Structure 1
């Protein structure tokens, strides 16, 4: 009787465990391009007039980033978002640094934005790969 119970328990456990061993697949709405774009600004070091790079650098281009509040219930435009967009634009031209020259907040609403912030800076390549 005791051996029969052990056999039933063992078979039950085996059945349960084998049911968990099926070949499951994982599907995500993320694609590698979206992930790469999300993290790309993080490859660019940000500087400003009060904190210029200490090492040599080469200026590649002037880049701009913009933050726009399109609807009343959207998040207000911010300098932080505009700088992030400028960093993305710098990364897209293989820069590894950005010297932010100016961020401007536009007080007047226009046809597209209730509030808007624009940041302009120089996309640079740092000498020692920082």
Structure 2
């Protein structure tokens, strides 16, 4: 059942379908929570890495690319890397790529010069590898 949107609708909805569960509310709550957690983890990746390195002596094994969950950040990195390298191969200058993709020129150079595994290591590990 779709959640009510205005005053009085909730009581009308409950009277009409008393046993209905408001699934959309739960779905959107979980969706908003997962987006917020992903954003906070990405913003604080240097803190997370610092604490992770403190108690870990063995090297971290990266999961294969196909094992990554399809998060918004991973999809954005994959799309930007592919589009940037396609435009570089076509012969576009960095400034034109930046203009067309609405990115900074330094970001375009970063996508152009960095291997995809290293780009994806940032959200996976918590910061850019050395």
Q: Given the two structures, how large is their TM-score scaled by the length of structure 2?
A: 0.25
- Relative contact order: is structure 1 or structure 2 higher (C-alpha 8 Å, sep ≥ 6)? 1
Q: Given the two structures, how large is their TM-score scaled by the length of structure 1?
A: 0.25
Q: Which has the higher strand share?
A: 1
